[in-house]
Structures are given as C-alpha cells and as structure tokens.
Amino acid sequence: MNRIPRRELLGAAALAMIPKAVLSAEPAMYDYLFLDLDDATPGATPARAYADHVRSRTASLAAAGGEVVGLFTPQLGWVGRQTALLVRWSPDAKGRDREVVALMRDKTVRTGQRAGLSPTMRPAVTDRPKVGGIYVHRWFVVETKNVPEFLTLSSEGWLDFETRFDTQIFGLFTAERSANDRQSGVTRLLLITRYGSHGVWEASRDPSTAAMAAFAKRQALTRDSWAASTLFVPI
C-alpha cells in the first residue's frame, strides 16, 4: 500500500488552511486493523491467541519497515472477540500490503477491516501508548472542507483537557478516503485518547470547561460519531 498523500486526504485547498503547527511533520503512515476473532480455546481469550500471532511476526514487520504500536481489546462498545491493531510504517516501507494481509488472514481472524491512517498533530514517531487506564477510540465523519477547523478546535481543546484531567491524546488521524467519502464530500477521523479510568472519562464531559467549549464547536462540524473504550495491550 502506497503512502497516502495529504492532498488526497484533505484536498489542496483544505490543506493550505491548516496551520503548520497543527500538522505533524512525521511522514510515517499507519494501518488500523479492526478484527473479529475466532472464539478462543477454553481458558484463553480471543485476543491472547491473536497477540501471540502478532508477536510471531514482529521481525518480519520490522524488516518490511513496520512496527506494532499496540493491540486494543474491548471494554465498552465492542463485542468480546473484537480487537484493533495499530501498525506504524516508515515512509519507505516495503511489503506493507503483504504484512497487513498476514496480520488479517491468520487462523485466529474471522473477518477484518483495514483503514489507512495519516497522523495530524499527534502522534509523533516516538510516541507510544501508556500502559494502564482505558483508551477510547472515537471516529468522526466531517465535511472535508471543515477538517482544518476541526483540527484547530481539537488542538485548542487539548490544552485545557490534558491539564485538567488524567488524560492524554495519543493520536488524531485522518483515514484514507473511500469512493463513498469522496462522493459525500467527507473525511473520517480517528481520535485515540487515554483516560485514567471510566470515571475520568465521565468527569471530562463537564460542559463548563474550556475544553468542552472547544469540543462543542467541533461537534457542530461533525456529521456522525461513534466510540468504544478499550484496554491497551503492549506487543
């Protein structure tokens, strides 16, 4: 899979409107694999068997220019056998498609969906998810012309959000646009946020904070949104 140009993701006009400080300079690309796993053998979880498969491929991934950022298992919003794998690729990665196919066609996998992602403000190439807490994966569907404003509001809101609560924004990504996305004039974005607990997640919804004021404006730009809470599994 070739690197997805940002002009293709956002459009040249929208890209020109985004402040340089808002966009990550890191050229690495990502694959987000959302998987439905086979039922595990007694005494094991579906994700454990799949994690073993992923670990067995780390050397092959590295040789192809890839690395596993993390495996995420369900808490709320996914069924018990679903999981997501986030893989980072160097810009000159070779064999990316071959490795992704191997990750998605293991005997432990029933079905899978692949989304090519491009980082915005975060993550940087050195960023890694922290162990502990929960990770909320939230998808947004936004009109492509509004993506620059969406990114700016996100960046503004994070300043108060991360200071006030036990939270860290790991990454905000734009997804490779499908033919349907182009026809509808939309871009999908994935936000991955760590919260200290589900209690922190609830507390952070406080509408009186500066963060929520920015996020409310962001929500007004959003056509659709859905989220799930997960646990991070290091590989």
What is the pTM for the complete model shown? 0.88
Q: Is the pLDDT of residue 16 over 60?
A: no
CA distances from 134 to 142, 185, 227 (A): 25, 32, 12
Question: Can you read off the two tokens belonging to residue 189?
Answer: 């974005």
pLDDT category at 61 given cuts 50, 70, 90 is: very high
pLDDT for res 42 = 62
Distance CA 214, CA 40 (A): 43
Q: Which amino acid is at 53?
A: H
pLDDT digits (tens, 9 = 90+) for 116-141: 999 999 999 889 999 999 999 999 99
Q: b/e per residue, 161-192, with b = 16+ CB within 10 A?
A: beeebebbbbbbbbbbbeeebeeeebbbbbbb
Contact status, residue 174 vs residue 30, Cβ threshold 8 Å: no
- Please state, rounded to an integer, the average pLDDT across all residues of the chain: 89
Contact status, residue 30 vs residue 121, Cβ threshold 8 Å: no
Contact status, residue 58 vs residue 41, Cβ threshold 8 Å: no
pLDDT digits (tens, 9 = 90+) for 20-57: 444 444 468 999 999 999 876 666 678 888 999 999 99
Task: Calculate mean pLDDT across residues 142-148.
Answer: 98
